[in-house]
Structure 1
Amino acid sequence: MILRWLRIWPMLWDMEDTMPTTVERALEALGLTDLNPGGFAGSWMGGGRPQQVVSPVDGQPLASVENVDRDAFEAILARCSEAFLVWRRVPAPKRGEVVKELGLELARNKEALADLVTLEMGKTRREALGEVQEMIDICDFAVGLSRQLYGLTMPSERGRHRIQEQWHPLGVVGVITAFNFPVAVWSWNTAIALVCGDTVLWKPSSRTPLTAVACTRLAERVLRRMGYDPAVCSLVIGRGSEIGDLINTDPRVALVSYTGSVPGGRHVGRLVQERFGRHILELGGNGAVIVSEKGDLDTALRAVYFGAIGTAGQRCTSTRRVIIHASIYDTFVARLQDLYGRTPIGDPRDDKQLMGPLVDAGAVDTMMAAIEAVKAQGGSIRCGGERLDLPGGCYVTPCLAEVRPSMPIVREETFAPVLYLMRYETIEEAIRIQNDVPQGLSSAIITNDLREAELFTSPEGSDCGLANVNTGTSGAEIGGAFGGEKETGGGRESGSDAWKAYMRRQTSAINYSGGVELAQGIVLEI
C-alpha cells in the first residue's frame, strides 16, 4: 500500500546498526500489559477467550488479548451508537481539532508504535515508521477537510426557489482491517469519518490486535483530554466469522469499510447489501509494471525491486508482475536478479535488513505452493523462493519466476515476494497483458515516451484505480483517493472526495416566493 520508498532509497546504502527493540519496552511505552481487554467503548471490556499474539520476527509470544463476546459486542455497539448522536452535533471544524490532536498524539508515540508494528506484523522498522507517519499525515489532511465539506447550490426552474445540496454525518462506521497495514488503514478511515461526524467501530485482524489496542488507547487519551465521549473511537477484537459478521449484519452500522481478501469482500458485500447498508471494499491487488525500452532502466530497477520485496510482498499494491520489452528483457532481468541475490533479509528491527519475515508459517506455505504451481504450469524459477533457517520460521528469499501471461497462477494474488517476469513486443500488447487479470488496483509504466505515458493513463490504458508513470505500484499519497476496480472492490479511501462515502447526501429546495409552485409546470388548483 502507501509507503514512501523514494525517501527510503538513499538510506539503504548508508545504514548503521541499530539495537533491536525489546518487547517489554514497546508494550510499556504504549500502556499494554501481558493480558489486554479487546473491547472498548468508553470503558475496556472483553468476555471472550484470550488469544496469544506471537511475533513473526522470532516466534516468541508478545502478549495476549481477550476477545469480545456477543454481550460485550452489543454493549460496545450500543455505546458507539449513542456517542454518534452527540458527536454529529459537534461542528465539523471542532471535530477537526480533535483529529489534529490525534495526529499530535500519534507523533509523540511514533517510535513506540512503529516498534510494535514491527514486532507484531514483521514489517521492517523503516516501513513501520513510514506507516505511522502516514497516520499523522492523514490526520493533517482531515483537519483541512473539516472546513471543506462542501455542498452545491443549483438554480431552480421555479421562481424564487433555490436548490441546495448538503452532506450530513452518516452514523457508525465499521472498520475491518487487514494485518499488513495494521494501523494505517484504520487511520485512513477514522480521520475522515471523525471529521465527517461519524463514530468508528474498529475490528482489526486477529493477527495484529495489539496495535489496535494501542491506537485505541491513544484515541481514548485525546478524546478524554478534550472533553468528548471516548466511545467515538470504539474497538472490538475477535474472529471475523463471529465479530466481523455481527458488524456486517447489524443495521446500526451505517457503513462497513473492509480491507482484506476477495472471498472475504464477497462475503462482506453480500451481508451488508442484504440489509441495504453501505460498504467500501479494498480487496485484491495484482500490481504490474510495464518496463519500456524507452524508459530509464535505473528507475525501473528501483521501482520494481522495492515494489516487489517491500513488506515481503504483503501489500495489496505490491508489484507481482513485470512486463518487459523483449529488446531489454535479458539485460533488465540480469540486473534485477543480481539485486535479488544481494537482498538483506533478517530481523526487521535491524536497519541492515531490507526484508523481514512473512506474517506467519501459513503465508510461507502459500508462497511455496505458488512456486510449485509455476513449475507445474510450465514456468521456471529464475532465483529465490527458498525457506531460510532463521528464528520464527517465517523468512524466505524473494523469488523471480519466468512465466507466460496465460498461466493461471499469474492471475492470482500471492501475498508473498514472488515476482512474475513476462515479455512484450508492442505497448498495446503490454497494456493488454497488464489488464488481463481479475484485479485492478495498482499499475505503473516506466517510459520517457510521452505517447506511451499518455496511452497508459488514457481510457484505452490501465484499467486500475492507480496508474503511475515512472514510479512503482506503491508509493501512493494520501491526497489522492486510494482504491481500485474489478475484484479490488471499487472502494475509495483517503484523499480527494473519498469523504463523501462517509456522509449522507441531502438535496433541499428552498422556496422564498410566498406561494407554492410545482416543478415540470404542473398546476393544481385548490
Structure 2
Amino acid sequence: MTDHTASLPGTDELRRRALDALRRVGASVPAGTGLSARSPITGETLLDLRADTADDVGRAVDEAAEAFATWRTTPPPVRGELVRVLGELLREHHGDLADLITIEAGKIRSEALGEIQEMIDICDLAVGMSRQLYGRSIASERPGHRLAETWHPLGVVGVISAFNFPAAVWSWNTAVALVCGDTVVWKPSELTPLISIAASRLLDRAIERTGAPAAVHRLLLAGRDGGEALVDDARVALLSATGSTRMGREVGPRVAARFGRSLLELGGNNASVVTPSADLEVTLPGIVFAAAGTAGQRCTTLRRLIVHRDVADEVVDRVAAAYARLNVGDPFDEKTLVGPLVNERAATAMATALDRAAADGGTIVAGGNRLGSGGGVFVEPALVRMPGQTAVVREETFAPILWVLTYDTFDEAVALHNDVPQGLSSSIFTRDQQEAERFLAADGSDCGIANVNIGTSGAEIGGAFGGEKETGGGRESGSDAWKAYMRRATNTINYSDRVALAQNVSFL
C-alpha cells in the first residue's frame, strides 16, 4: 500500500473549503459552544458550534407537529414538488456538498460525489412515488359492500443518522417522509454537523420556493442528550435511527415503551462466498471495493470472505496484491482510494481486533499498519486468514479488516455465512446457477440484501435497504419502504340498502 499522508491539506485550508461550500449553499454556522466540527483528515477542530438543548428539541417537535396538521392534507403531488425542487438544488450544489462530506467524514472524492448522487436519486424516486401511494380494493363477502385499504400520513418522523453516510441516509428518510405527508426532525451525528447544516439549508430554500410550511423540517445539532429527547418524545410517531447494534438496543425498547414506531438500521457483518467456479476477474474488484472502500466504515462493508478451499490461496494472493496497490491518504487526491478512519477510537478498535485475531491463531496476510505521523488516523486495510469463525470474527469492527475463512461444501459455506448475529448484506461469486439460486433461496443467505457476482456494498435506491436479526429489521429507500412512513386504514363501504354483518352474523 502506498502512503500518501505526507501531503495532506492543513486545518486552515480545510476550514476555508468548508466555509466556502457553506457560503455557496446559503448556509451559516451557528456560532457558540457545545459541538465542534472537526476533520478526520487532520484530526483537528475546524469550527465551534452552538449545540441545541433538550428544550430546543421540544420546540422543534412542537413546530413539526403543528406543520403536520397542514402538510398531511396537502395533495401528495404537491408535496412531491417540494422534493423535486430539493433535487434540483442538490444537483446545483453537488460539488459543494461532496466537499463537506470529504472534509467531515473523510470519504474519497468519488465516494463523496456518489453519496450526493444517491440523494438526487432518492429525490427523483420520491417525486414519482408522490403519485403512486397506492391502496387496494379487496373483495367483500357481503353483497353491496366494498373493502379497501388506504394509506395516510403518519406524523412527525425523527431521524437520527450516522457519520458514515451523513447526508444520504437523511435524504432516504426525508424525501420519502415528505411525500408521504410527514414532517421531519433530524438529529445528525455530532461528527458531521457542517454537511447537515448545508443539506438542511437546501431543503429550507426548497420550502421557500414552493411555499410549503416552514416547519416541515427541523434540524437539531445536538449530542446524545438531544437524541434521547427525540427518542422519548411521544409526538414522534416514527423514529428512524441508523447506528450500532448497541444503540439500537437502547433506542428500540424506549420507543416501544411509548408505543411509537422505530425503523432501525444497525450493524452489519457482511460476507461474500467465493465458489470454485467464480470468475476471479469479476470477484476481485467486488471484494476490494466492498472491503476497503470508505476505509471499511460502511454498514455494508465486506468483513468476512468465505472461500472454497480449492481456490482460497489464489483468491487471497490476488486480494493481497490488490491491497498493495491501494493509495492511502488525502481523500481529495484523485489517486487516493482509502481515506482516514473517523477518529482515534476507530483505530483502537481495529488494533484490538487484530490482536484478538492473532491470539486466536489468525495470520495477517496484508496491511493492518498505521500510516502517517499527523493527527489524522490513516491505516492500511488488513487481510487476515483465520482458522475459524472466532468471537472477534462474529463481531462487527467498524474498520477495514477482512477476515478470510475457508469451506469445503456449499452447505458449510451457507452455515458459516449465517452464523453471525447480524444480517444486513451478503453476496456470492459463482458461475453455477444452482449455487446462485440456492444462495438466494429461503434456506440460503439470511440477510436483507443478497447479491450474486457483485460485492456487499453499493445498493441502489430503487430497492428497499435494510437487514435482519441484529441489523434491526428496518427498510428504507425504494420498493414499498414508503409504507413505514404511513398508517394503514381498512375501509368497509356499504352502498346497498340493507345492513349485512360479516360471517353471516344475525343481530336484531
Does TM, normalized by the shorter one, top 0.5?
yes
In 2, Cα distance between equivalents of 1:175 and 1:263: 17
The aligned residue for residue 80 of structure 1 is: 64
Amino acid at match of 1:444: S
Paired letter, 2:181: G
Alpha-carbon distance, 1:36 to partner: 2.4
What SS does the corresponding residue of 2:29 show, helix, strand or coil?
Answer: strand
Report deviation, 1:27. Answer: 2.1
Q: CA contact under 8 A between 1:405 and 1:433: conserved in structure 2?
A: no
Aligned length: 499
1:104 aligns with 2:104: no
Distance 1:390 1:94, change over 3 A: farther
**2:166 is equivalent to residue 174 of structure 1:** no
1:156, 1:404 → 2: CA distance? 60
Q: Which runs of 5+ in 1 are unaligned?
A: 1-16, 38-45
Name the counterpart of 2:16.
24
List aligned pairs for 1:358-507, cutoff 5 A: 358-507=341-490
C-alpha distance in structure 2 between counterparts of 1:88 and 1:188, whole Å: 19
* Structure 2 match to 1:134: 118
How much does 1:428 deviate? Answer: 1.1
Normalised by the length of structure 1, the TM-score is 0.92
Runs of 4+ in structure 1 over 6 Å off:
17-21, 32-35
SS of the aligned residue for 1:76 comes to helix
CA contact (8 A) 2:33 2:48 kept: no
| 8 A Cα contact 1:34 1:64, kept in partner | no
Tell which deviates more after alignment, 132-141 or 202-211: 202-211
1:390 Cα shift? 4.3
SS at match of 1:202: strand
Instruction: Give 3-state SS (helix, strand or coil) of 2:329's partner.
Output: coil
2:308 to 302, 321, 325: 325
Partner residue in 2 for 1:3: none
Relative to structure 1, is the Cα distance of residues 512 and 318 closer, same or farther in structure 2, using a 3 angstrom cutoff? same
- Report what 1:267 is aligned to: 250
Listed as ranges, the gaps of 5+ residues in structure 2 are 1-6
**Tell me, what secondary structure is at the counterpart of 1:36?**
coil
Deviations 1:168-191 (A, max 9, x none): 000000000011000000000001
Structure 1 CA distance, aligned partners of 2:9 and 2:334? 9
Q: 2: distance between equivalents of 1:348 and 1:18?
A: 9
Question: The residue matched to 1:385 in structure 2 has which SS?
Answer: coil
The alpha-carbon deviation at position 372 of structure 1 amounts to: 0.6
Q: Which AA in structure 2 matches 1:26?
A: A
Do the aligned partners of 1:65 and 1:210 also contact (CA within 8 Å) in 2? no
Pair 1:146-2:138 in alignment:
no
Preserved CA contact (<8 Å) 1:35 1:64: no
Q: Does 1:515 align with 2:507?
A: no
* 2:221 paired residue among 215, 230, 237: 237
What is the DSSP-based 3-state SS (H/G/I as helix, E as strand, rest coil) of the residue aligned with 2:268? coil
One-letter amino acid matched to 2:155: G
Aligned match of 1:346 in 321, 329, 332? 329
- Decide whether the 8 Å contact of 1:358 with 1:364 is kept in 2: yes
> Does the 8 Å contact 2:436/2:452 carry over to 1?
yes
Separation of aligned partners in 2, 1:71 and 1:433? 48
Q: Displacement of 1:34 after TM fit?
A: 11
Give the SS at the match of 1:68: coil
Aligned residue type for 1:305: V
Contact 1:457 1:467 in 2 (8 A): yes
Cα deviation for residue 157 of structure 1 reads 1.5
Counterparts in 2 of 1:18 and 1:264: CA distance versus 1, 3 Å: closer
CA contact (8 A) 2:8 2:329 kept: no
CA contact (8 A) 2:304 2:404 kept: yes
Give distance in 1, aligned partners of 2:357 and 2:8.
Answer: 38
Q: Is the 8 A contact 1:92 1:195 kept in 2?
A: yes
Within 1, Cα distance between the matches of 2:313 and 2:234? 56
RMSD: 1.8
Q: Distance in 2 between matches of 1:174 and 1:497?
A: 20
In 2, the alpha carbon distance for the partners of 1:500 and 1:381 equals 45
Structure 2 CA distance for aligned equivalents of residues 34 and 172 of structure 1: 24
Higher mean alpha-carbon deviation, 154-163 vs 280-289, is at: 154-163
Equivalent residue letter for 2:143: G
* 1:491 positional shift: 0.5
Conserved in 2, the CA contact under 8 Å of 1:35 and 1:65? Answer: no
Match of 1:160 among 128, 134, 144: 144
Matched, 1:301 2:284: yes
Per the alignment, in what secondary structure is the counterpart of residue 368 of structure 2? coil
State the distance in 2 between where 1:510 and 1:34 align: 51
- Give the % identical residues: 53
SS at match of 1:217: helix
| Partner Cα separation in structure 2 for residue 217 and residue 393 of structure 1 | 29
Match of residue 170, structure 2, among 182, 186, 199: 186
2: distance between equivalents of 1:260 and 1:213?
20
Mapped to 2, the partners of 1:33 and 1:83 lie a distance apart of 24
Query: In 1, Cα distance between the equivalents of 2:376 and 2:104?
Result: 15
Matched-pair contact (CA < 8 Å) for 1:100–1:140:
yes
Partner of 2:4 in structure 1?
none
Equivalent residue for 2:109, pick from 116, 125, 145: 125
Letter in 2 for 1:197: G
Contact 2:350–2:399 at 8 Å: present in 1 too? yes
> Which residue is equivalent to 1:36?
29
